Amino acid sequence: MFRWMLSFAPLLLFMPTLAHAHGARIEYVANEAVVVTITATYDSGTPMRDAQVIIYTPSDPVNAWLTGMTDHAGVFQFVPDVTQAGQWEVVVRQAGHGGTVYVPISADQVSGAATVQAQGSSNPMSPMQTALMGASVVWGFVGTALYFSRRRTA
């Protein structure tokens, strides 16, 4: 029997900033990432050392997004792609025994504006619906213009 412990450890990962002193505009980019820490132990508390770890994204439960091994303490860390919000599956297997933990990843877990915006759209329409609506509006203007121009030439 296995017991699973799961912890989330938010960790800021800042990219090094490039600085040019001769009047150049200085900018920096900071990436903030969520680091997920998986700890796998047996009921006895013994760590599952060197166990196989397989990670699936919410959108693809068939093909592994990442594979790896736990360390000597039964620990495995990974940085999920936070643009893929939902339940991430982490499967840990060893010697014919295994278990799954489900890690909920949401845009709220990062404060990077771009990521939040990408995940936080409130537009209820699909891109196709948006395109159709835009085309209809354009066609309305064109149709009206054609109507009046025809009346003038008549």
Of residues 23 and 96, the one with the C-beta less far from other proteins: 96
Determine if 149 is a binding residue for other proteins (CB under 8 A): no
Nearest distance in Å: CB 37, other proteins: 19
Of the candidate residues 9, 136, 147, 153, the single one contacting other proteins (CB under 8 A): 147
Q: How far apart are CA 53 and CA 40, in angstroms?
A: 10
Of the candidate residues 7, 17, 31, 46, the single one contacting other proteins (CB under 8 A): 46
- HSE-up of 58 (CA within 13 Å, CB side)? 13
In 3D space, the residue among 152, 154, 2, 151 whose CA is nearest the CA of residue 74 turns out to be 2
Of residues 70 and 115, the one with the C-beta less far from other proteins: 70
End-to-end CA distance of the chain: 88
Residue tagged 């939040």 (tokens):
116
Q: How far apart are CA 107 and CA 86, in angstroms?
A: 9
Q: Phi and psi (nearest 5°) for 20?
A: -120, 125
Determine if 141 is a binding residue for other proteins (CB under 8 A): no
Please tell me the count of residues contacting other proteins according to CB under 8 A.
24
Determine if 61 is a binding residue for other proteins (CB under 8 A): yes
Of the candidate residues 71, 97, 108, 139, the single one contacting other proteins (CB under 8 A): 97
Determine if 49 is a binding residue for other proteins (CB under 8 A): no
Residue tagged 């891109």 (tokens):
127
Q: Which residues bind other proteins (CB under 8 A)?
A: 1-4, 42-44, 46, 61-62, 87, 89, 91, 93, 95-100, 102, 147-148, 151
